[in-house]
Structure 1
Amino acid sequence: MKSSQDGGVAEPRGRGRVAELESEIAKLRQENAQLRQRAGGIAALESENEQLRRRAQQQGGIHEVLPVVVTTAVDLSRLDTSLVTQISSFLGTARELLSLALACKSFGWRQPVSTLNWSLVEEVARQTVCSRATDAEMSSLPRYVSGSTTWLSILHRYEHLLMFDVLLGSYIEHRNGDRTAVCATGDILVSTAVSGSYVMSLGAHYAEFLITGRPYIGIARPMPGLNACAYQEEEFSFIGDDFLYPDFRAQRTDDWGDSDVHACEFNCGDGAMILTDWDDEEIDDDWEGRESCRSGDTVGMLLNLDRGTLTVYRNNRRLGVIKDGLSGPYCWHVSLVNRPLVTDEVSIKRGTLPNSDREARN
């Protein structure tokens, strides 16, 4: 021991250094305990993974587990094609699948291992269409033809199944460029919009029309040979214009069948039904369930070609059958007028039939 200048006793040499070392040892022990804890968690995960591997092998599943490799690239050839297809199916839309095809040739190029020589994107598009579209909708979609029609284009068409792609007359236009919505323009004259690419020839089809004003909504025969440009300087209607009837009859094909109902409309203004065989017209203003509609209403139309009926709904409430005995192909159409106090407008979309009436589709 050594005396200090003030007469006290100094600490033994090295005691301060010992205290520092003991503090460092304590810290190392704490860090070691944390590492052991982490190691225990990793060991538990490895044990669980091993159990899952054994269970999968026992169930006849994965026999060879891919090693975990941290890399910036993925070797897709090492992944099961069905797994990649399943993951890609969550993209859903044609635009997203097109982006995927353009992003990587492994997705967009045809796969030699595929019996149909489709690309991954094509297979996902095919599965999406076939799982979502009804038999009736499939009948109205383009057919897959290798080299000319792709499943991606069919999916895109399915996503835009209902739209007004044909405008007849000079007093109608798409609203704000939206091909699912039309509005009347100009004078107090009638013009017509047709969903011409959606031809209904079998099964049940349900569509909803959001209306403004007092439009006419109904069905008419598909007439792809009708020159729409020839009617751009005048009014146009499938019913009531005798001068146009010869043009319509000239478009007749054998698949129109035996029904002489070539156009049928529901008058939203007074609830009457109007039909024609393109010789004469017939008006039924007393059909059971007749009811007028107002701006803002949603008019539902169910064409059931298995039963040959056309049924009308108002705001998801069934009004009744306005015509039976229908057969052959039809397209949805609306006829609009620009009136002094209100302009007719209509938008179309696929609808879900009210629960109480879904059996009508069978």
Structure 2
Amino acid sequence: MVHTRVRQSKKMKSREQESPSEVSDRFQLNREAARKARGATRVRGAKGAKGGSQHHGMECACGAAKRQRVSTVESALASIDVLGHLATFLEAGELCQVRATCKALGSRDDSAFDGLSMTEEAARRIYESASDEEKAMLPRHDGEGWIELYHHLLMLRARLTFDQLLGDRVEYHEGDKAAVRAVRRSGQSSAICGNHIMRAGKHWATFAYGGGFSVGVIRPLPGWDQRTLEEFQPINSRYWDDLRRERTPRWVGDVHFCHFYRTGQCFYSNWEGHGCTASYWDGYNNYDRGVHTLGMLLDLDGGTLSVYQKGQKVGTLKDGLAGVYCWTACTACLQGYLQFGSASIERGYDVTDVQAEEYKSA
């Protein structure tokens, strides 16, 4: 502190000794330095303002370009031809998301498509472009939406899979949803092709199964795989009250399921009363119990379920089938059969019988 005061005192003393001209010169120098400093500040400010203006201009240009791209995409999607082409790459659920998230594509207001939204019109056009055979197997139900019908068309073209597992006695075999296996020696569980609903026409399936499994058809049971049931077998009457509550106008007739066993026995029911009915079918004596691969034909035009072995028809298991069905495989509960086993399903069947070939193409 002492040294600081000495230096300040010396500085003040030296300024007191300056002449008037020296004071004037020093004042001019200080004023010039201040002026230059203000000028430099203005230059920096101008440069900053110019840079900010350029940056703002770039942002505006980018925003305009983005809006132009969005406008171009929206304009393209506003074309039913473009949307129809894109829809062929989408699942039905994804098409529903498009309808829900884009007002222009999902709105029915002032529509040019007879009250349909653009997404529904796109689904309708895809269905109308399907083959005659496909449309014969998928007649439209009263009140059914076109996107729902499009979903069933996609399922008709896809490989068969057991989408629903009911009961904890069955699981997928090595992660393949087209194959299941029993995981316990006792108990009842079922696997259902719940996404593949058959409503009309002729449907073929190939089953490879062994052990304590039965195969056949059952009414659609949406949501039943979410019930976390320990056991389920449609032949068991303790489930029938709940099953009857699932009935819809699409359940036509009184054959709600029909199961075929490796023994050659066949059972069906309308889920009324206290027991199933055995079907004494023609061809029972020709059935080979040693063959573990068989074909099934559900003919909803004729209302029959038939069984095939080695490419030839063995017999008709049951008639009177009508309405909607799904393929199913269940762990059997017949006395004397172990519950271990497996079952797999595949769409179609290789028919070698000439008469069956003619029937298949009819």
Say whether the fold is shared (TM-score over 0.5). yes
**Does the 8 Å contact 1:212/1:345 carry over to 2?**
yes
Whether 2:350 is the aligned partner of 1:350: answer no
How many equivalent pairs are there? 273
| Cα distance, 1:137–1:167 mapped onto 2, change above 3 Å | same
Deviation at 1:349, TM superposition (A): 2.5
Work out which of the residue numbers 163, 167, 170 in structure 1 matches 2:168: 170
- How far apart are residue 346 of structure 1 and its match? 2.1
- Preserved CA contact (<8 Å) 1:167 1:228: no
Asked if structure 2 preserves the Cα contact closer than 8 Å seen for 1:212 and 1:294, the reply is: no
Q: In the alignment, is residue 273 of structure 1 matched against residue 285 of structure 2?
A: no
Cα distance in structure 1, aligned partners of 2:343 and 2:230? 22
CA contact (8 A) 1:188 1:337 kept: no
Shift of 1:191: 1.2
1:237 aligned partner: 233
SS at match of 2:227: helix
Aligned to 2:258: 264
Whether contact under 8 Å (2:126, 2:150) holds in the other structure is: no
- 1:213 is aligned, of 206, 210, 220, to 210
Tell me how far 1:178 sits from its aligned partner. Answer: 2.3
> Deviation of residue 360 (structure 1)?
5.2
SS at match of 1:256: coil
Letter in 1 for 2:266: M
What residue in structure 2 maps to residue 204 of structure 1? Answer: 201
Deviation at 1:136, TM superposition (A): 0.9
Q: Contact between 1:291 and 1:319, CA under 8 Å: does it hold in 2?
A: no
Cα gap change, 1:198/1:300 in structure 2, threshold over 3 Å: closer, same or farther? same
C-alpha displacement of 1:312? 0.9
Partner amino acid for 1:327?
A
User: CA contact under 8 A between 1:337 and 1:343: conserved in structure 2?
Assistant: no
Q: Which residue of 2 aligns with 1:68?
A: none
| 3-state SS in 2 of match to 1:320 | strand
Measured in 2, the distance between the counterparts of 1:322 and 1:154 equals 27
Query: What letter is aligned with 1:136?
Result: M
Match of 1:334 in 2: 329
Question: 5+ unaligned residues in a row in structure 1: which ranges?
Answer: 1-80, 99-108
Q: Which has the higher helix share?
A: 2
- Greater Cα radius of gyration, structure 1 or 2: 2
Alignment of 1:3-42 (within 5 A): none
> Percent identical across equivalent pairs?
28
- Contact kept in structure 2, 1:193 and 1:335, CA below 8 Å: yes
Rounded Cα–Cα distance in structure 1 between residues aligned with 2:168 and 2:275 = 25
1:300 aligns with 2:295: yes
**Partner of 1:315 in structure 2?**
310
Contact kept, 8 Å, 2:332 with 2:339, in 1: the verdict is no
The more displaced of 277-286 and 314-323 is 277-286
Q: Distance in 2 between matches of 1:315 and 1:209?
A: 11
If the length of structure 2 is used for normalisation, what is the TM-score? Answer: 0.56
Distance 2:290 2:124 in 1: 40
Question: Tell me, what secondary structure is at the counterpart of 1:213?
Answer: strand
Q: Given that residues 206 and 349 in structure 2 are in contact (C-alpha distance below 8 angstroms), is that contact kept between their aligned partners in structure 1?
A: no
1:270-309, CA deviations, whole angstroms, 9 ceiling, x for partnerless residues? Answer: 11111122242122356324442534x2x22111122111
Q: Secondary structure at the match of 1:135?
A: helix
Would the alpha carbon gap of residues 135 and 186 (structure 1) be closer, same or farther in structure 2, given more than 3 Å must change? same
Per the alignment, residue 135 of structure 1 pairs with: 136
2:355 aligned with 1:359: no
Q: Which amino acid aligns with 1:266?
A: F
Q: Is the 8 A contact 1:265 1:273 kept in 2?
A: yes
Please provide the CA RMSD for this pair. Answer: 4.9
Aligned equivalents of 1:265, 1:135: Cα separation in 2: 26
Deviations 1:151-189 (A, max 9, x none): 986665444363211111101112232222222213332
Matching residue's letter, 1:204? G
Unmatched 5+ residue regions in structure 2? 1-78, 95-104, 107-111
| Residues 1:139 and 1:180: Cα distance change in structure 2 (over 3 Å) | farther
Equivalent residue number for residue 179 of structure 2: 181
TM-score for the superposition, normalised by structure 1: 0.56
CA contact (8 A) 1:213 1:294 kept: no
